[in-house]
Amino acid sequence: PLILVGGPVLAYNLLVLASYVLTGWAVYLLASDMLVRAQDRWMRIFSAFVAGALFAFGTYRMAHVVHLQLLQTAWLPLALLFLRRFLHDTETGTRRWRCAALFGLFTGIQCITALYYAYFTALTIGLYVVIWLLRTLSRRQRLNFWQNIGGLSFGGILAALITIPVTLPYIHVYEYLGIVRSLRELDNWSA
């Protein structure tokens, strides 16, 4: 719709600017949620704002300012925010399932926005869930355990339903063209 209204240059510029705002806001929300137990409210707000600004305008993102798809990093912090809220909320009912659905939605969106980030997303979400699982089992907290597993499964299935239809055509094109990434090529383009 932006291309139809203002042309491709306006659409590109608005999407670049929006990526910085949305990413900063997403990290602010995640950091604020993580610091909810902080005594000083203003310190929590300031710290979350600094975290959002540092992430949004970090060196990695600034180096990729010409790669629109690599600027779309807001979805991973939002996925982590709702995963965190789902796993640590002691309430039951629709609020928890809404958090599970939003976790799956944002995970799926992050995976299809930039396929490179699908690997980072899977690793980050996977590590978070493994750490949560180890903490839960070590504390013998069985309260809502199976409901949490069900919500994680629901979010994972939703993310897969978003990701698979977008990635399958890419896989078919790679197979059709015989594209294979060699170790030499990976070494050449690595940091």
pLDDT single digits (tens) 73-128:
999 999 999 999 998 876 667 788 899 999 999 999 999 998 889 999 999 999 99
Asked if the model's pLDDT at residue 142 lies above 90, the reply is: no
Q: Which long-range contacts (CB under 8 A, 24 or more apart) does 44-49 make?
A: none
What pLDDT is attached to residue 60?
A: 87
Is residue 159 within 8 A of residue 108, CB to CB? The reply is yes
pTM metric for this prediction: 0.87
What pLDDT is attached to residue 49?
A: 96
Query: Distance between CA 119 and CA 1 in Å, rounded?
Result: 30
Query: Distance between CA 27 and CA 50 in Å, rounded?
Result: 9
Mean model confidence pLDDT for the chain: 89
Is residue 71 within 8 A of residue 116, CB to CB? The reply is no
Phi, psi for 178 (deg, rounded to 5): 70, 30
Residue with tokens 């309260």, as numbered in its chain: 143
What pLDDT is attached to residue 106?
A: 97
Q: What is the pLDDT of residues 152-181, one digit of tens each?
A: 999 999 999 999 999 999 889 988 998 887
Which element (helix H / strand E) includes 159? helix 145-177
Q: What is the pLDDT of residues 12-27, one digit of tens each?
A: 999 999 999 999 999 9
Is residue 79 within 8 A of residue 121, CB to CB? The reply is yes
